[in-house]
Amino acid sequence: MKKLLALALGILTAIGGFVDIGDLVTSAVVGSRFGLTLVWVTVLGVVGISLYANMAGRVAAVSGRATFEIIRERLGARAGLANLAASFLVNLMTVTAEIGGIALVFQLVTGISPMLWIPLAGFGVWVVVWRAKFSALENATGLLGLGLMVFAVAVFLLQPDWGHLAPQLIPRIPATEDGSTYWYYAIALFGAAMTPYEVFFFSSGGIEEKWSVKSLGEMKANVLVGFPLGGLLSISIAVCAAVVLLPQAIAVTSLSQVVLPVIQAGGTLAFAFAVVGMAAAVFGAALESTLSSGYTIAQYFGWSWGKFRRPAQAARFHLVMLIGLIIAVLVLLTGVDPVAVTEFSVVFSAIALPLTYIPILIVSNDKQYMGEFRNGMLTNALSLIFLAIILVASIAAIPLMVITGAGQ
Amino acid sequence: MTSWPKLAVVVVGVVLALTACSSPADQVAQFAKQAAAAEQSAALGTELLRTGKALQPEISTLFQDSMKELNSSEQSLAQLQTTGHAAALQHTALTAVRRATDALLVAQRELEAGAVSAHATEQLRKAAEALKKAEAP
């Protein structure tokens, strides 16, 4: 019974923790401009992240070592450093976007400028990363993040014309948009679903929680059940936007527009659930991406790391996170639009995807590390297909960003 | 054989050429569309507030975001170098954006005073409609 509860808690946490500011904004933008014609990308992204997170988790559970430790060992110091630089920069952009996201959610509730909330959000994330236990921060934010299920409820409360919605699921470029913009947002959505920090956090979290071969079943359930259900939340956000905002030609550019369909469906109560869900999801993602920045650097340089150690025993790990948070806060205080940062962060995530996923695929096939738990034929075949998609998305991202003026 | 730096220059050139393809009339339509979306979302928010579904801080934030979008659209429209038909379109769009900004300012003041009137909501809707018409080149 205790095991079953732990399993259920893990799955619920994975669902609630799946969505971050990138998913929130990109799903709503896409729903409000392209209807449901890009839902296939979310499905593709969820399959991809489930596949690779499962591999990264398996590597952590079997070898007892996290992704970046092995990347350096396997790729060598120089290639590993290039990988580290790119991953860390993308991660820092994600931290910045998430801190900005927290400030925007608080602005929704109070009407007070996000500039006031940005330093408080950064401070709050630092305090939690410094003080809270790993399991507590993961479970609390994941469970409260379930408040986002209100978007799924809202879809039904809005009573859409299902006959009109269903044909939108067929991938096609809407008449009001051009092909390059469609593909630009397809890449953004894919990048949002497969954000690299999720994998770093997942594999390092496995070490934090002392996974072993015995934990493989639980880890698999979290990934293969929790992530797809989390993906349904992203799709619900897109459906809400497609039902309420698209017919009124409201293309989403701010978080205050994202919640309008929920308010229309369920009034202030639904809004309260949405705000709690968004705050928890974005705060959780800020914690995860901040921890990921510490994990990657500390693991590469071989420093002592982890929440299972006291801060004094992992001082450089904590210092990296503190510096990352300070940079994120300072960037946001220049007045840059957090939503714009979010949109750029998901596209740059897409660009950096191969750097994260190629080493995981190599290591999970390594007999020396993985023994009998290395990838099977089917996993490898699927992984290679996804690697091809990841490479295409990565190469096409910058040209499309320039051509479309970042999706304008 | 083409070297990598040469290939990169060609790719960048093609990308920049494609970026420059958008005509002034298309750009006017694009900025008018952005402004229309902002005004329309303010109108929707006002209606939700008037029916008791939305709370004042959320709508206040929505108004601030819409105002930011309108200001950005106005600036972008004003900076466009246009001639002939495109200049006429630019003038129509700029006028519509400024009227939309005025309508939003009225609604913002009313919200700060406690409630948004039906008249202000109607003005927001009309301004959004005018912007949608200005979208069509």
Output the pLDDT for position A316: 96
Residue A180 pLDDT > 70: yes
- Å between A388 CA and nearest CA of chain B: 21
**HEC string of A153-202?**
HHHHHCCCCHHHHHHHHCCCCCCCCCHHHHHHHHHHHHHHHCCHHHHHHH
Does some domain include residue B16?
A: no
The span from the CA of A195 to the CA of A124, in Å, is: 23
CB-CB under 8 Å, B15 with A403: yes
Q: Is the pLDDT of residue A291 over 90?
A: yes
What is the predicted pLDDT for the residue at A12?
64
Chain length of chain A = 408
Q: Is A172 left (phi over 0), alpha (psi -120 to 50) or beta?
A: beta
Q: Which of A255, A21, A261, A154 is nearest to B54 (CA)?
A: A261
Q: What is the mean pLDDT of residues A84-103?
A: 92
Cα separation, A45 vs A20, in Å, equals 14
**Shortest Cα distance, chain A CAs vs residue B30, angstroms:** 8
Residue A89 pLDDT more than 60? yes
A268 touches chain B (CB under 8 A): yes
ipTM: 0.86
Of all helices (H) and strands (E), which one includes residue A256? helix A255-258
Residues of A numbered 226-245 whose beta carbons fall under 8 angstroms of chain B's beta carbons: which are they? 244-245
Q: Which two tokens stand for residue B78?
A: 């004003």
Number of domains into which chain B is organized: 1
CB A28 within 8 A of CB A242: no
CATH class held by domain A2-404: mainly alpha
User: Residue B126 belongs to what domain range?
Assistant: 23-135
Token pair of A259 as six digits: 């919640």
Confidence (pLDDT) at B9? 57
| Tens-binned pLDDT, residue by residue, of chain B (137 aa) | 445 555 555 555 555 555 545 788 888 988 999 999 999 999 999 999 999 999 999 999 999 999 999 999 999 999 988 888 888 899 999 999 999 999 999 999 999 998 899 999 999 999 999 999 887 66
Per the domain annotation, does B6 fall within a domain? no
Contacts of B16 in chain A (CB under 8 A): 402
The alpha carbon of residue A276 is apart from the nearest alpha carbon of chain B, in Å, by 14
Please determine, for residue A95, whether its predicted confidence score (pLDDT) is greater than 90. Answer: yes
**Which tokens is A391 given?**
């490479």
Rounded to a whole number of angstroms, the distance from the CA of B31 to the nearest CA of chain A is 10
Q: Name residues whose C-beta falls within 8 Å of residue B113's C-beta, 6 or more positions apart in sequence.
A: none
Cross-chain residue pair B58–A263, CB shorter than 8 Å: yes
The answer to whether A96 faces chain B, any CB pair under 8 Å, is: no
Give A104→chain B minimum CA distance, Å.
9
Residue B10 included in any domain: no
Determine which of A66-75, A226-235, B1-10 has the lowest per-residue pLDDT on average: B1-10
A84-93, A201-210, B118-127 — most confident range = B118-127
Report pLDDT for A198: 83
- Beta-carbon contacts of A34 under 8 Å, excluding residues fewer than 6 positions away, are A174, A177, A182, A185
High-pLDDT (> 70) share of chain B, %: 83
Most B-contacting residue of A257, A271, A278 (CB-CB within 10 A), to test interface: A257
Tell me what pLDDT residue A232 has: 92
Residues of B in contact with A249 (CB under 8 A): 33, 36-37, 40, 132
Q: What is the pLDDT of residue B2?
A: 46
Residues of A in contact with B18 (CB under 8 A): 180, 403
Residue A119 confidence (pLDDT) above 70: yes
Q: Do A405 and B62 touch (CB under 8 A)?
A: no
Rounded to a whole number of angstroms, the distance from the CA of A105 to the nearest CA of chain B is 10
DSSP code per residue over B96-135: HHHHHHHHHHHHHHHHHHT---HHHHHHHHHHHHHHHHHH
By C-alpha distance, the chain B residue nearest A246 is B37
Q: Is the dihedral of CA A202, A206, A212, A216 positive or negative?
A: negative
In this prediction, residue A196 carries a pLDDT of: 83
Q: What backbone phi and psi angles, to 5 degrees, belong to A407?
A: 80, 20
Tokens describing residue B126: 């009309």
For the stretch B112-115, contacts whose Cβ atoms lie closer than 8 Å and that sit 24 or more positions apart, written own/partner, are B112/B60, B115/B49, B115/B50
Residue A105: the pLDDT is: 96
Pick the closest to residue A202 from A134, A146, A147, A282 (CA basis). Answer: A134
pLDDT of residue B21: 57
- Among chain A residues, the shortest Cα distance to B27 is held by A408
CA distance A125 to A326: 11
CATH of the domain at B82: 1.20.120
Mean pLDDT, rounded, of chain A: 90
d(CA A302, CA A27): 38
Say if CB A275 and CB A144 are below 8 A apart: no
For A273-334, the DSSP string reads HHHHHHHHHHHHHHHHHHHHHHHHHHHHHT----TTS-GGGGHHHHHHHHHHHHHHHHHHHT
Quick one: pLDDT at residue B1?
Answer: 42
Answer whether residue B12 is part of any domain.
no
Cβ B41–A399 below 8 Å, yes or no? Answer: no
Higher-confidence residue of A7 and A291: namely: A291
Closest CA to A11 of A239, A256, A228, A250: A228
B45:A271 CB<8 A: no
Region A233-249: what's the mean pLDDT? 95
Question: Mean pLDDT, to the nearest integer, of A30-36?
Answer: 95
Dihedral Cα B56, B57, B63, B64, nearest 10 deg: 160
Q: Is B21 exposed, middle or buried (0-12, 13-18, 19+ CB in 10 A)?
A: exposed
Q: What is the pLDDT of residues B42-75, one digit of tens each?
A: 999 999 999 999 999 999 999 999 999 999 999 9
Q: Tell me how far apart the alpha carbons of residues A248 and A239 are, in angstroms, rounded to a whole number.
A: 14
The half-sphere exposure of A336 on its side-chain side, counting CA atoms within 13 A, is 19
Q: Is the pLDDT of residue A109 over 80?
A: yes
Q: Which residues contact A181 (CB under 8 A, 6 or more apart)?
A: A33, A404, A407, A408
Q: What is the pTM of this model?
A: 0.90
Examine residue B11 and state whether it is found in any structural domain, yes or no: no
Residue A408: its chain B contacts at CB < 8 A? Answer: 30
**Long-range contacts made by residues A358-362, C-beta under 8 angstroms, separation at least 24?**
A358/A387, A359/A67, A359/A70, A359/A71, A359/A74, A359/A75, A359/A83, A360/A52, A360/A55, A360/A56, A360/A59, A360/A67, A360/A199, A361/A52, A361/A55, A361/A387, A362/A74
